[in-house]
Amino acid sequence: MSLEVIILAAGKGTRMCSDRPKVLHQLAGKPMLVHAINQAQMLQPICTHVIVGHGADEVESVVKPLGARCVTQVEQLGTGHAVAQAMPQVNNNAIVLVLYGDVPLVPAALMQQLVLQATQGDLAILTVTLDDAAGYGRIVRNSKGHIQAIVEHKDANAEQLQIKEINTGILAAKASLLNGWLPRIKSNNAQGEIYLTDIVAMAVADDIGISHLQPDFPQQTQGVNDRLQLAQLERWYQQQQANQLLRDGVQLADPTRFDLRGELYAGKDIYIDINVIMEGQVYLGDSVHIGPNCHIKDAHIGAGTQILANSVIDQAQVAEHCSIGPFARLRPGTIMHDNSKVGNFVETKKTTLGKGSKANHFTYLGDATVGENVNIGAGTITCNYDGVNKFKTNIANGAFIGSNSSIVAPVNIGAGATVGAGSTITKDIPDDNLAIARGKQRNLASWAKPVKT
C-alpha cells in the first residue's frame, strides 16, 4: 500500500514572538519542518503534503526543493480542517501519516510502526504519558482500557483532566477511512474548531481498531510552542548526539558543551575540547585533536591534524598531520596538503598550501597557490584585490617569504626564491633569486633628538 504524508504547518506560532513562521525556526541548524520532512521521507512516501497558512510563501520556498507539495489552508479552522485540505489530492487507497511541522524529532522508525498498524486497518495514534498533561488532548479509555476518545483540555471534565496519557497529534490511517470521517467532524466544542481528534470516537463507533504507540523518549513527540521549548529540545537533541559520538569512540571533553548542527563523520581516537560547534558536513580523520572554542563548518580534516583553540574553519579541505591555529581562520576554498601549518592570526581564502608549507603568524593568503615547503613569514599579505577584481599569486616550491611582505597580485614567485623582509613585490621573481623591494636604510649621525618645549 502506498504512503502519503500530511504535515500540518499552517499555524501562526504566536508565542514564538517572531516574524518567521514557527515551523521554520531551527533546531540543530535545520528548520523544524525540515526535520519532520527528512524523517518522513525515509519511509519513501509517494507524496508529502504540507498544509501551509501563515507565512505560506516562506514555508513553500523551504519545502519545495525537498520535493514536498504545499496546500494552502486559508483559514485555520482546526486540525481536522487542515488534514481535509490535502485529502482531495490523496489517493483513496493510500495510507495517510499525519505529522506536525512543529514536532521535529519523531524518528522515522516510530512513523514506520504507525504506518504498519494503519496498513493492517487500524487507526494508529501516537500517545505519550506526561507528568504535566496540561493543555493537551487526553486519551480517554474505558474500564477495559480500550481507547474511546480524545478529549481536548478545554473540553475535558474534572475526571478527564486527571489523565496523564495525551495525544501527540501524530497518527496514521487509511485514506478511505479518513475520507469517511473528516466530513462528519463538527465544530461544537469549546474552541469552535474542527478537531482531527474527533475521528477517534468515530473509529470506535465504526468498530475500527485503534492501536497506539508511545515514543522511547517524550522529547521525540514534544511540540514546540515557544522559544523556551525550542531551546530545551535543542539541548536534549544535542545531548543525544553527543552521547552517540562518545559511544562511537569520539572523546568529547564535555558532552554538554558540544554542538553539532549537521552531520559528523568521525574516525577513531578523536579528541574534541569544550565549546566546539560543528555545522553542515564535517569529516574528521583518525586522531584529529580539536582545541576549545573552534567553529568548523563543511570541512574535511585529515588524520592526525591538530586544530588549536579558537580557530574557525569554513569549507576547507585539510589533509593529514596539519596544524591549524590557535586563532586561525580558514575560509572557503582553502586546501592544506599534508604536514602544512597555519598559525595564529592567519586568514586563508581560495588558497592552496602545499606539503610541509607554513604560514605561522599574522598573514593573509587569498587566491594563492603555495607550493611545497614554502615558508611564509609573519605579516605577509597577498594583495589580491584592487577594489574591483581579484588576482592570483603563485609561490613555487621551497620559496621563502620574509616577514612583513606585501605580495601584489598577479605575481609569480619562483621555486627557491627568497623575498627580503618588508618587501612590496609587484614583479615576478625567477627561481632561486633574492628579491628586495624596500627603502634603503640610512643612518644619520648628525640627527638631533627633539627637546621638550
Contact residues toward Ca ion (CB under 5 A) are 223
Maximum CA extent, the chain: 111
Per-residue x/- mask for ligand UD1, residues 97 to 126, rule CB under 6 A? ---xxx------------------------
Task: Tell me which of 3, 16, 36, 51 binds ligand UD1, using CB under 6 A.
Answer: 51
269: DSSP letter: S
Q: Candidates 161-169, 199-207, 350-358, 373-381: pick the segment binding ligand UD1 (CB under 6 A).
A: 161-169
Long-range pairs of 300-307 with CB within 8 A, sequence gap ≥ 24: 302/338, 303/267
Burial of 148 (0-12, 13-18, 19+ CB in 10 A): middle
Q: How far is the CB of 164 from Ca ion (least distance, A)?
A: 18
SS3 label, residue 194 = coil
**Rounded to an integer, what distance in angstroms lies between the CA atom of residue 411 and that of residue 391?**
8
Element (H, E) at 247: helix 227-247
Cis-peptide into 326, omega within 30 deg:
yes
55: DSSP letter: B
**Rounded to an integer, what distance in angstroms lies between the CA atom of residue 442 and that of residue 435?**
20
Answer yes or no whether residue 128 interacts with ligand UD1 by CB under 6 A.
no
Task: Tell me which of 55, 126, 136, 340 binds ligand UD1, using CB under 6 A.
Answer: 136
Cell output for 328: 586561525
Measured from the CB atom, the residue of 150 and 313 that comes closer to ligand UD1 is: 150
Q: How far is the CB of 224 from Ca ion (least distance, A)?
A: 8
Number of residues that bind ligand UD1 (CB under 6 A): 27
Helices (H), 25-141: 32-41, 56-63, 79-86, 108-119
Per-residue x/- mask for ligand UD1, residues 52 to 91, rule CB under 6 A? ---------------------x--xxxx-xx---------
Torsion (CA) 258, 260, 265, 268 in degrees, nearest 10: 10
Residue for grid cell 602545499: 354
Answer yes or no whether residue 339 interacts with ligand UD1 by CB under 6 A.
no
Q: φ and ψ at 302, to 5 degrees?
A: -75, 165
Binding site partner of 401, from ligand UD1, Ca ion, none, Cβ cut-off 5-8 A by kind: none
Q: How far is the CB of 136 from ligand UD1 (least distance, A)?
A: 4
- For residue 401, the one-letter residue type is I
Measured from the CB atom, the residue of 70 and 264 that comes closer to ligand UD1 is: 70
Number of DSSP helices (H) and strands (E) in the chain, helices first: 7, 36
Q: Candidates 189-197, 250-258, 274-282, 439-447: pick the segment binding ligand UD1 (CB under 6 A).
A: 189-197
Q: How far is the CB of 137 from ligand UD1 (least distance, A)?
A: 2
**Rounded to an integer, what distance in angstroms lies between the CA atom of residue 412 and that of residue 157?**
83
Measured from the CB atom, the residue of 223 and 366 that comes closer to ligand UD1 is: 223
Element (H, E) at 258: strand 258-266
Measured from the CB atom, the residue of 101 and 215 that comes closer to ligand UD1 is: 101
Task: Tell me which of 3, 8, 40, 284 binds ligand UD1, using CB under 6 A.
Answer: 8
Answer yes or no whether residue 167 interacts with ligand UD1 by CB under 6 A.
yes
35 flagged as catalytic: no
Which of the residues 54, 153, 295, 361 is marked catalytic? 361
Q: Tell me the residue number closest to Ca ion, measured at CB.
A: 223
Q: Which of 361, 439, 367 is nearest to 401 (CA)?
A: 361
SS3 label, residue 383 = strand
Binding site partner of 335, from ligand UD1, Ca ion, none, Cβ cut-off 5-8 A by kind: none
Task: Tell me which of 4, 11, 68, 348 binds ligand UD1, using CB under 6 A.
Answer: 11
Residues 190-249 interacting with ligand UD1 (rule: CB under 6 A): 195-197, 223
Binding site partner of 234, from ligand UD1, Ca ion, none, Cβ cut-off 5-8 A by kind: none
Per-residue x/- mask for ligand UD1, residues 141 to 160, rule CB under 6 A? ---------x-x--------
Q: How far is the CB of 190 from ligand UD1 (least distance, A)?
A: 11
Burial of 376 (0-12, 13-18, 19+ CB in 10 A): buried
Positions marked catalytic: 361
Task: Give the binding site for ligand UD1 (CB under 6 A).
Answer: 8-11, 51, 73, 76-79, 81-82, 100-102, 136-137, 150, 152, 166-169, 195-197, 223
